[in-house]
Amino acid sequence: MSFCVNCGVRLAPSEQQCPLCDVFVINPLNPWTEPAERPYPKRVETLIKKNVDTKFTVIIISISLIIPAIIPMLTDLFIAGGITWSRYVLGALFCLFVFVPLPLMFKRPNKYLFWLLDTLSVAGYVFLIYSSSGSRGWYFSLALPIIISVALGVLLSMIITASSTSSLKKAAAIFAIIGLVSVSVDLVINFHLGSSSPVHWSVFVVSPLLVFSSILLVIDRKVELKEELRKRLFY
């Protein structure tokens, strides 16, 4: 009996190559002999491809979104004689559709285009709620600025993660962005409420985040310094 030296899988006496990782099998104590019966056919069909899986996932997600869309819509039509409350369900499901299955339908979705689509769908959904709510004014002075600041924070984080800086610097930047977004959300809320002080709770969010971010930057600097010293001193 032999085991693969690379992946450790148990090998049948008929193996000249590991069926799992393709490493050649050389066992001097157990030379290869043509077996009377092979454990499986010589040619293994490899039909399962990534796009087949993605297509299947898209179909499953879309169906699981269509069912909860149809039931409230029919109930609403039947009871109220039109689309009243079910528009909230439909709007939320549409947002979910834009968030998950829609980008999966593309082989190489442009993440910035989908960032824009996601932001627009959320802004549109909140506007739908606003337009049917009785109270006025909160969309443009509260909801929209919050959506825009969160979306800009997400966009900045996307640009930073795509850049080629060290992961410690990236993490430091993302912590700082989360802090900035919370400050801007706090500012928007206080401005909307006509509050005396421009910032309240966000101080408690942004200060530890900035401390943590600076610690990460210091560690990153140390790592760089160590590398530099190592190169100069040949150790």
Residue nearer to Zn ion on the CB measure, 18 or 177: 18
Structure tokens at 42: 């010589």
Residue nearer to Zn ion on the CB measure, 38 or 55: 38
- The least distance separating Zn ion from the CB of residue 2, rounded to whole angstroms, comes to 10
- The least distance separating Zn ion from the CB of residue 59, rounded to whole angstroms, comes to 35
Residue nearer to Zn ion on the CB measure, 5 or 218: 5
Site for Zn ion in 5-44 (CB under 5 A): 6-7, 18, 20-21, 23
- The least distance separating Zn ion from the CB of residue 15, rounded to whole angstroms, comes to 9
| Cα 58 to Cα 52: distance, rounded to the nearest angstrom | 10
Binding residue (CB under 5 A) for Zn ion from 4, 122, 189, 209: 4
Residue 66 within binding range of Zn ion, rule CB under 5 A: no
| Cα 198 to Cα 205: distance, rounded to the nearest angstrom | 15
Residue nearer to Zn ion on the CB measure, 11 or 206: 11
Binding piece for Zn ion, criterion CB under 5 A, among 2-10, 64-72, 151-159, 196-204: 2-10
Structure tokens at 160: 């930073």
- The least distance separating Zn ion from the CB of residue 25, rounded to whole angstroms, comes to 9
Per-residue interface string for the shown chain with Zn ion, residues 70-109, x marking contact by CB under 5 A:
----------------------------------------
Q: What is the torsional sign of CA 150, 154, 156, 160?
A: positive
Site for Zn ion in 171-210 (CB under 5 A): none
Q: Which residues bind Zn ion (CB under 5 A)?
A: 4, 6-7, 18, 20-21, 23
